[in-house]
A and B are shown apart, each in its own frame.
Chain A
Amino acid sequence: MSPLAQLLEAALFAASRPLAVRELMTLDPQAGEAAVRAGLDELRAAYAAGHGVELVEIALGWQFLTRPEHAAAIAGAELALRPRRLSPAALETLAIIAYRQPVSRVEVDEIRGVDAGAVIDKLIERGLVEVVSRGEGLGRPLLYATTPQFLEILGLKDLDELPRLEELSVALRPPAAPA
């Protein structure tokens, strides 16, 4: 491996969170973005086979993750815990915020048909949702958006990896006008 790829390997090993390309570029002032991206590709190729971990692009950055086939054994030996699963109410709220962001609580309530306040508070506590601004209109409501942590727990590179609404089997369209 090239010296830059080895430097990236060391940094990604040392960090316990996904590192963005911008952050990795500060490792070596000489290396530009293209060189860092090339180094990451080299590193990913080196770990593509014959290793228990692999380099994954996730949450707007890069991170070493264990391969799925080892998960059961690691969790079974209680060396690491699987994250707590999100409740249906939490997932519903996350889905709405992810697609409508920045979105006010009232809009989430309307779509879900229930008061989502407590669920949103819990999502904020878990770092999956944050207040980004205040909206126009009555009372200048707080507007919520998803965080990089949201991408991380779903294993997504970025929000563009979410399915497009028109790809869903129930594409939202206005109800057919009565004939």
Chain B
Amino acid sequence: MTTLPPSAVDQAGFVVELEQFSGPLDLLLHLIREDELDITDLPIAKIADQFLGVIDDLGLSQAADYLEMAARLLRIKAQTLLPRRPGDDEWEDPRAELVRRLLEYQQVRELVDWLADAAARRAERFARGFMPEARPVPPAPLVVELNELLAAAERVIALIPEPVLHRVVPRPLDVEGATERIQALLGEREECSWLDVVGERASVVDVLSAFIALLELARRGALKLRQDAPFASIVIRREPPRAAA
């Protein structure tokens, strides 16, 4: 199994990083360097296995970025295993995107070294009145008279809008009641209309209850629904009880 890079251990005293690597690309690059692999011709199966091994070892499995890279590696590995015909020029190396990113990232790492050197050289020189960190000027302490404070509080209170209270009355659907009513109606006659069920001045809740009850009864085969034209009144017709039932 792989060992940690010495540089990460050396710097650990100075910069506390949550992980030894600044990201999955950093880890990948480390593995490639350690085995002296050719980035442009990555042995993807090998590198994928090592990557998964290190994630296990370092307990980095919490980090989504590492998991995403692991998934990407496994996908590329699967793609390279797919058979392909020699004359297939449509085929693009599934590693190409990863290789491009690794090369780009390698360039960033080189710049990081350069920047770190420059910062270290600069740290050997002090400017006048050098402060470790540019701190924001703290706000001046607040000086207020009591009556000013009270006046301010009153202004704020005046801005508070009157609360508007709404009373919410629960009114659940009464599907059972509607079912009983429909069954009673159909007990008296063979056919009735929608208006017979809900009445002239039905509330929304009544309409919904009746409608659900009708659909349920129709599903059970207790009645048949018929509507002769769009928006026409629904005709409800009793179904003879099935002999088999």
Contact = CB atoms under 8 A, between A and B. Distances in A.
B133 A155 contact: no
A87 B11 CA distance: 9
Contacts of B108: 92, 95-96, 111-112
A163 interface: yes
Contacts of B132: 81, 83-84
Contacts, number: 142
A155 B17 contact: no
B81 to A, nearest CB: 17
B119 interface: yes
B91 to A, nearest CB: 10
B123 A94 contact: no
Contacts of A85: 14-15, 119-120, 123
A176 interface: yes
Nearest to B113: A91
B22 A114 contact: yes
A18 to B, nearest CB: 8
Given A91-B116, A112-B25, A163 B125 contact: no
A65 B122 CA distance: 10
B165 interface: no
Nearest to A68: B124
Contacts of B133: 83-84, 126
Interface of B: 11, 14-15, 17, 22-26, 40, 65, 69, 93, 96, 99-101, 103-112, 114-116, 118-130, 132-134
Given A17-B127, A169-B110, 17 more contacts: A56-B125, A63-B127, A66-B125, A66-B126, A71-B126, A80-B126, A81-B130, A83-B132, A85-B15, A89-B17, A112-B23, A153-B119, A154-B119, A165-B107, A168-B110, A176-B40, A178-B93
Interface of A: 13, 15-17, 56, 63-68, 71, 74, 80-89, 91-92, 94-96, 98-99, 110-115, 126-127, 149, 152-156, 162-163, 165, 168-176, 178
5 contacts: A56-B125, A112-B22, A155-B119, A165-B107, A176-B40
